[in-house]
Structure 1
């Protein structure tokens, strides 16, 4: 029997309620507003910093405003209207008066001080608060209220505040002791994000986090196996717009892909934040941006999610809500078609860091594949234990992952031996303690060059035919850093390095005759497959500078050497194409990001006469969900499709023959 979150169409609304909103809460009106909006799940304030119910625990402050309908009445009202309720808790901070009674719960900086933000003190995740008191709160909450799941907000060893300032990592006595026991090292008092010792510390944090998650999962499932837990049964992330947070156009798509996975086996709660960051919690982002995020999340995971301050019926800035409601209602109308799908992509990007904070190199590859219309999936490298996650894939891209575990390297080697193509960039598998990749054929880094300003890769004339898009651009910008690689005995290489040249007035600038035999691309055949290595970070340049150099070269690598195939070679790069199938149908979804204009977001520019080249398939009928007109023609190997018009989003549904 399926759990509720496995067969409930996921349309989440997270209502972060100010404490005083409970004073005049009308539970029935609250539930009706969610139902009218199309929500099937709500994320509702419950416990932690402040209890939204009459708690009996003396260390958990009770809200002063519980004078309207109770939290229990709100949960019951939502259930009557068919809406599941996730309990939102926040154990990242405690009020100052609680800290004074329990000073050992606080996170500590290197000098022993605490971070107190206007009376709210940051807590250490290794403290008794999060490992003992937290579980008392959860037991009280879930045995008195029929919630359907749990979301824990903002817990982190990195001590931050609501201004976005990172004060440092927790240096409390318990963290120091545990770190010493785990690593045999002392925790450096001034450890910062740029410190070389951060690597072992991050690994320590991962172990602590995994242990806590396992304890929480076991505890929750013993209370009730039908309680859905964030990070286990569903995966929540945020897509936001803030002063110091670059608004990456593909953030919602990427988050949704990673959270749901290629099989879309868990709900992706990619929460589109309906306000302009912490300072302006009641000012909505542009409607075009709000709609784009929802269409991206829907296409890549089959789920939609909104996060706002207050209740839906009390919102005054409703421009973003109107755009979001349209997508929610579309999902509600077509949930039977758009849920229960799995990805048809043959390419996957593996992310070595936190997928919620990607590097420019990782973001660059997402952009390149999206704008080249190569369908792809994304997975955290940490989830790669064997080749099972790579089933059905022909190309794996691993951007600049210096350290691989034995199991990760073994899985990638096995993938290549079995006929797959592995494309790595930067210093992948070259960091201290990394397991080696046998499929590189013995190629290894012998030198790191940094601070480059005028170096260039040259495509020599004899290699020009391998990169047909670059015939008029033989020079490539390597960026500020590259790695000199000594090829293996059977490794094929491309490109030469033009070393640093003089900078100054134009009379002093020229391209000299010196060429270094340092390859910019290496290929090794291994078993039935191949590995390719770009020992520089060209995708990062595509992301940060937006230039076609080296974009065209990297596209040639994908198409000419990796065997990747574009499903829309002539389509505007501003249109994203997603292929999925399930329940006897294939669904092609198109999202128009043409409203992105620098830092501004407008309604997208309509795209006319779109041509797609799809793998040939057998189908009995084809129709669209947004009114577009399609014409199909088969060639025996391909299905050629033409769509007359794309506004913001379209779904083309091929029903299979029965």
Structure 2
């Protein structure tokens, strides 16, 4: 049996059509898609507006179709695309209905805690627990597949719409279906009104289950109708969908696309992740093009981590004249022209960085994770982002080192995942209060390593508390908290703190003396090694940028591992090394030039001179080529390390290395 089409490299363009675009020139759009280097068209098909003559009363047929000779945009598009070998994906949006259908079927619609509907530009928001989602959208998908040769479906805004397009908060839905289903799920919990309600987190778990059930049933529904058609949505769909976008007023995290794709694919190394890269600056400003350097980062970060790149336009290529499309075309064509390089591309990293639950909802934990992310990138360490919720699914054979970045107490499945890693001989580093509960380490076999006695948590309690992380004689401050540990006599102890003294006035700032409180405690657990770091070096680096912290903690964690570092680079800290292997068995190394990362924006990166990449391996390369600059790499061996001469790096470079043992 042949593998599904989505297991091969592909590249997309999305045209997010308005009603008035129904008379678009199909051939002109396909000309653009082909010239762009894409082979997949994500096209607005149905839901709020049907761009084909639907016979289902739950849909509104686009009145602008009357301007087309055929009266059927989707039929014209699918037929023309098939002639060119371009696949069409159907964009559906069942999040809203018009006023007539809302009046006929109020049971379909969102009802706020105040009893009001959620109305935006005349459309009523629909509730996923109601019949429209639970039954009608399945009928629409069946109708589309009975008429058109589409290759997949994407469902826009398939969630419980607590907020509208203007980001106004409307609360938790109180429609009859929600009230009844939630009462059955949690009979002793009062139906919440919003995040401040006691039962809100319970409701969040229930609503997530409703969406997961819809996702699973729709995937099965589509597969029963045509096994060659994909659902593109959540993790339980055939394809995971990720939208790379920007927003006015949102702090920019320069690595967000890389982080997201890596997190999706670390659950399943062969997972297909479709990355829809937004070519405009924000949803309310859809005609303002994103900066080309920003668009480039969306696409590059997706490609380097094995995602399938797509570019998201508002309207048609004729109306969406975004400046960033030129660099988008260049990168999409590179992916097309090197499709064999990206076939079966999966991470080759042996380091995992676990991101905490809650994301941006917990600024302290997020800062610790992001600081470690920056440390690893700048020290050229290839790594995967791992989900805290999926710790028990980690393949313990995959990682030599896993960093738990201030995760707090672990759930039972998380403890089991860490235990499995240690039993297989991996090293685990737990920073902040990761894996601590009631003063004890949660990991079986680690209880004798140390005991948590107390913690400094306030800013004032941390004044004057310093940690020596290297031999320079200089110190770094404890930021975000410091746990006072009592280590066992067998534990490896380091980074003992310099105790607190008076903070001011300056005349009284003396009396700092070393205290026995360690900033690093490590020991053997199972076949592996566990280190606890009862402070937050990641947060410190993220907020203050002390490079001696970065250099010290990265060097320190690798003293725990069996084999040391996979690769080392004699390149500036602004070059990110992403390590992968492809279906042909070649090592694929992306060198991403991050010198353009600037406050709240990306600027054109400064070219990086030639450098060296050191790879620890017993095999010799038989082919070593830089694919962007189209030149062969010179190399030599130094013991068990192969040293490659890397070319000058502009925006990026991709090294393809085939080994003698492949």
TM-score where L is the length of structure 1 = 0.89
Counterpart residue number, 1:284:
289
CA distance in 2, matches of 1:362, 1:411: 19
**Equivalent residues of 1:397, 1:424 under 8 A apart:** yes
Deviates more, 1:171-180 or 1:283-292: 171-180
Counterpart residue number, 1:654:
657
Q: 1:156 is paired with a residue of what secondary structure?
A: coil
* Aligned-residue offset at 1:526: 0.7
Alignment match of 2:341 (pick from 316, 337, 350): 337
Q: 2:254 is paired with a residue of what secondary structure?
A: coil
**Equivalent residues of 2:351, 2:384 under 8 A apart:** yes
Unmatched 5+ stretches in structure 1: none
Describe the shift of the 1:196–1:555 C-alpha distance in structure 2 as closer, same or farther (beyond 3 A). Answer: farther
**Equivalent residues of 1:445, 1:486 under 8 A apart:** yes
Deviation digits for residues 291-336 of structure 1 (CA, Å, limit 9, x no counterpart): 222122211115322111122244323x200000001111111111
CA distance in 2, matches of 1:610, 1:148: 44
Counterpart residue number, 2:379:
372
CA distance in 1, matches of 2:510, 2:312: 54
Describe the shift of the 1:46–1:587 C-alpha distance in structure 2 as closer, same or farther (beyond 3 A). Answer: same
Describe the shift of the 1:173–1:515 C-alpha distance in structure 2 as closer, same or farther (beyond 3 A). Answer: farther
Describe the shift of the 1:13–1:361 C-alpha distance in structure 2 as closer, same or farther (beyond 3 A). Answer: farther
* Aligned-residue offset at 1:365: 2.5
**Equivalent residues of 1:30, 1:74 under 8 A apart:** no
Describe the shift of the 1:75–1:259 C-alpha distance in structure 2 as closer, same or farther (beyond 3 A). Answer: farther
Counterpart residue number, 2:613:
612
Alignment match of 2:165 (pick from 148, 162, 165): 162
* Aligned-residue offset at 1:496: 5.1
**Equivalent residues of 2:45, 2:51 under 8 A apart:** yes
Matched, 1:397 2:399: no
**Equivalent residues of 1:257, 1:300 under 8 A apart:** yes
Deviates more, 1:297-306 or 1:109-118: 109-118
Describe the shift of the 1:423–1:76 C-alpha distance in structure 2 as closer, same or farther (beyond 3 A). Answer: farther
CA distance in 1, matches of 2:108, 2:497: 55
CA distance in 1, matches of 2:203, 2:518: 34
Alignment match of 1:455 (pick from 458, 462, 472): 462
CA distance in 2, matches of 1:521, 1:3: 48
Describe the shift of the 1:302–1:217 C-alpha distance in structure 2 as closer, same or farther (beyond 3 A). Answer: closer
Describe the shift of the 1:188–1:440 C-alpha distance in structure 2 as closer, same or farther (beyond 3 A). Answer: farther
Counterpart residue number, 1:407:
413
CA distance in 2, matches of 1:487, 1:449: 17
**Equivalent residues of 1:262, 1:343 under 8 A apart:** no
* Aligned-residue offset at 1:80: 1.8
* Aligned-residue offset at 1:48: 1.6
1:194-213 equivalence runs, <5 A: 198-213=200-215
**Equivalent residues of 1:263, 1:341 under 8 A apart:** no
Describe the shift of the 1:18–1:263 C-alpha distance in structure 2 as closer, same or farther (beyond 3 A). Answer: same
* Aligned-residue offset at 1:116: 1.9
* Aligned-residue offset at 1:269: 1.3
1:252-401 equivalence runs, <5 A: 252-261=257-266, 264-301=269-306, 303-317=308-322, 319-353=323-357, 359-387=366-394, 389-401=395-407
* Aligned-residue offset at 1:553: 4.2
CA distance in 1, matches of 2:87, 2:133: 26
1:500-649 equivalence runs, <5 A: 506=506, 510=509, 512-513=511-512, 518-548=517-547, 550-561=549-560, 565=565, 567-582=567-582, 583-616=584-617, 617-627=619-629, 630-649=633-652
TM-score where L is the length of structure 2 = 0.88
Alignment match of 2:115 (pick from 112, 115, 118): 112
Describe the shift of the 1:130–1:585 C-alpha distance in structure 2 as closer, same or farther (beyond 3 A). Answer: same
Describe the shift of the 1:217–1:352 C-alpha distance in structure 2 as closer, same or farther (beyond 3 A). Answer: farther
Deviates more, 1:434-443 or 1:361-370: 434-443
**Equivalent residues of 1:90, 1:154 under 8 A apart:** yes
Describe the shift of the 1:105–1:8 C-alpha distance in structure 2 as closer, same or farther (beyond 3 A). Answer: same
RMSD, aligned CA: 3.1
Alignment match of 1:121 (pick from 121, 124, 132): 124
* Aligned-residue offset at 1:386: 4.3
Residues matched between the structures, number: 645
Deviation digits for residues 559-582 of structure 1 (CA, Å, limit 9, x no counterpart): 344575273354222111112223
CA distance in 1, matches of 2:386, 2:490: 31
Q: 1:607 is paired with a residue of what secondary structure?
A: coil
1:33-44 equivalence runs, <5 A: 33-44=32-43
Describe the shift of the 1:441–1:430 C-alpha distance in structure 2 as closer, same or farther (beyond 3 A). Answer: closer
**Equivalent residues of 1:292, 1:593 under 8 A apart:** no
Q: 1:651 is paired with a residue of what secondary structure?
A: strand
Deviation digits for residues 624-654 of structure 1 (CA, Å, limit 9, x no counterpart): 1122563211113101112231111111222
Deviates more, 1:108-117 or 1:46-55: 108-117
Q: 2:112 is paired with a residue of what secondary structure?
A: coil
**Equivalent residues of 1:373, 1:566 under 8 A apart:** no
1:13-92 equivalence runs, <5 A: 13-22=13-22, 24-66=23-65, 67-68=67-68, 70-92=73-95
CA distance in 2, matches of 1:537, 1:195: 32
**Equivalent residues of 2:112, 2:173 under 8 A apart:** yes
